[in-house]
Amino acid sequence: MTAGTAAGLARRTRAGLAVDLVVLTVRDGALTVLLVDRGGGPFRHRWALPGGFVHHDEELEDAAARELREETGLHATDLHLEQVRTYASCGRDPRGRVASVAYLAIAPDLPPPTAGSDASDARWVAVDRVGRLAFDHNTILADGVERSRSKLEYSPLAASFCPEPFTIGELRGIYEAVWGVRLDRRSFHRTVCGVDGFLVPTGERRTSPTGRPAPLYRRGRAGALRPAIPRPSPGGHRDLRETGRQQ
Amino acid sequence: MTAGTAAGLARRTRAGLAVDLVVLTVRDGALTVLLVDRGGGPFRHRWALPGGFVHHDEELEDAAARELREETGLHATDLHLEQVRTYASCGRDPRGRVASVAYLAIAPDLPPPTAGSDASDARWVAVDRVGRLAFDHNTILADGVERSRSKLEYSPLAASFCPEPFTIGELRGIYEAVWGVRLDRRSFHRTVCGVDGFLVPTGERRTSPTGRPAPLYRRGRAGALRPAIPRPSPGGHRDLRETGRQQ
DNA sequence: GCAAAAGTGTTAATGTTACACCCATGT
DNA sequence: ACATGGGTGTAACATTAACACTTTTGC
């Protein structure tokens, strides 16, 4: 589009342009999201996703990185940031039409955030303990979580949850927390090590008070996981296929 | 987001809000997109994706459906419509800041469209023969095509390319055109019939001048394909030829 | 009968799952 | 030695790919 006659130009819709962030990490074995207590505006003192209006001449992704920095001190170079989708329902913001572009940010576990300019408080909350949020943020959160769950399978996203360098065991903990399943330690090891470009061994090892020292890894360059890390099917295994019969 | 103090409110960004449509179909065995020749505005007489500004108090999806109707006569009830992503770079529209939400529309093969209000011409073009488009529409098109290719695997999207009722052979033609591969006729048949809820037999058959009559199907209610339709790996091996003659 | 497309059966190769078992370390 | 987690081997099972063969129609 963006087709427009002179008449079309005159009556074209203008809307507020904002970004909202679904910042996920794994803390204590649970998938966790960063929430802020809104300091002002509508839904004051409601919990919400961090975010804010895009500045003039500012790219969406830069706005997302800026909000992240302002609210958490995180720098976008350290983490994965991707667009999820846009929410622009007419009634979603009482101040008027606002189109909010949601971004998913994946970060290693971090210290509790400090409240920023737009928030009176900020904290990490396990995604299954999140209450009613401001605006349509419960929907945005659900979409972000769903996106991260499915991308774990075929993208190297899981490694973005780990502070580098990390062990295979820590990586497995990410998969278990995000998917909410238990994975076989031995099969998992072989599977991830068999994915070309996923993990790069540092040559170092981490010794721990318990167990054999584990080799350390960094994120590799692979953009997609081939083969994928199989996600256990929730309903168990399929039984025999029934071939479709006609008449 | 949508956090805003009184100060934040005053300086919030406002932008034009538009939708662009990647309307795909399969024609003559090729994945094909609907393009319009821009009748006015910037990029006049350049080919572009159909789309336009969102009206006041109009939902994004309604705007997408309206543009589709205006430019092609298609009704959204007949086709699959989903949001892909939002493009809002500062320089993408010479008229100013415009956020364009891209939608993917999948339609059965249709007669050539008629030009609408914003377009001086409209036509179907095979996606691998698309030239330089207006704005950033080549990028939007590429993202839409990529989305449709990956969704074919695990969603019932392929059936939206077929006018109902359809045969298994027609459905296979969709997969072959979109993925650009040849699929084994017999394995494909078993695979799709084994997916619960994908296809619903009508009980009717379609007789053709050549070959055995094929049972007809409609789209089922499945939202996801379990198991998925396996997509041949690109770095793969086998090129299949199906001569149709038995050895 | 013949060509063409639908549909079934079968097998080899491949992939996945589950678990036995060994390794290396701190206590 | 033992507990703990890292790492390898392997057999059972499930899935996939390739293709032989049969069925049903129009001409």
Read off the pLDDT of residues B136-179 as tens digits, 9 standing for 90 and up: 999 999 999 999 999 999 999 999 999 999 999 999 999 999 99
What are the tokens at B160?
């939206």
Tokens of A186: 């031995």
What pLDDT shows up at residue B70?
86
Distance from CA of B58 to the nearest CA of A (A): 7
Searching chain A, which residue's CA lies closest to the CA of residue B52? A1
Contact check, Cβ <8 Å, A1/B227: no
Nearest of B41, B51, B37 to residue B114 by alpha carbon: B37
Alpha helices in A49-136 (DSSP H): 60-72
Residue carrying structure tokens 């939400």:
B101
Q: What is the pLDDT of residues A95-142, one digit of tens each?
A: 999 999 999 999 998 777 776 666 678 899 999 999 999 999 999 999
Which nucleotide C1' is nearest B230 CA? D16
**Residue type present at position B161:** F
User: Do A51 and A18 touch, CB atoms closer than 8 A?
Assistant: yes
Closest protein residue to C4 (Cα–C1'): B211
Reading chain B (247 residues) residue by residue, the pLDDT tens digits are: 444 443 444 467 899 999 999 999 999 999 999 999 998 889 999 999 999 999 999 999 999 999 988 887 788 888 999 999 999 999 999 999 999 999 999 999 877 777 666 667 889 999 999 999 999 999 999 999 999 999 999 999 999 999 999 999 999 999 999 999 999 999 999 999 999 999 999 999 999 888 899 999 999 999 999 999 999 976 543 333 333 332 2
* Chain-chain contact of A86 with B38 (C-beta, under 8 angstroms): no
Nearest-neighbour CA in chain A from B63: distance (Å) = 11
Q: Is the CB of B227 under 7 A from strand D?
A: yes
CB-CB: which of B6, B90, B118 is closest to A5? B118
Residues of B in contact with A11 (CB under 8 A): 53
d(CA A202, CA A196): 16
The rounded distance, in Å, linking the Cα atoms of B80 and B107 is: 7
Q: Which residues, given as ranges, of chain A have pLDDT below 50? A: 1-10, 236-247
Find the residue closest to D21 using CA and C1' atoms.
Answer: B246
Separation in Å: D1 C1' and A174 CA: 34
Residue–nucleotide distance: A210 CA to D3 C1' (Å): 8
Distance CA B218, CA B195 (A): 14
Nucleotides of C under 7 A from a protein CB: 3-9, 15-21, 23-27
Residue among B177, B184, B158 nearest B241 (CA)? B184
Å separating the CA of residue A14 from the C1' of nucleotide C13: 59
C-alpha R_g of chain B: 21
Neighbours of A21 (CB within 10 A): 29
A192 three-state secondary structure: helix
Nearest CA in chain A to B6: A41
CA dist., res. B17 & res. B61, Å (int): 12
Instruction: Find the distance separating the first CA and the last CA of chain B, reported in whole Å.
Output: 65
Are A13 and B83 within 8 A, CB to CB? no
Distance CA(A16)–CA(A140), nearest Å, equals 18
CA nearest to nucleotide C6 C1': residue: B212
The owner of tokens 């909202």 is A20
Give nearest nucleotide to A229 (CA–C1').
Answer: C16
Q: How many CB pairs under 8 A join A and B?
A: 214
Q: At what angle do helices A137-154 and A168-179 cross, to 10 degrees?
A: 140
What's the one-letter identity of residue B244?
A: G
Q: Which two tokens stand for residue A204?
A: 């170092």
Which bases of chain D are under 7 A from a protein CB atom? 3-10, 14-27
What sign does the CA torsion over A88, B63, B124, B206 have?
Answer: positive
**What pLDDT score was predicted for residue B115?**
66
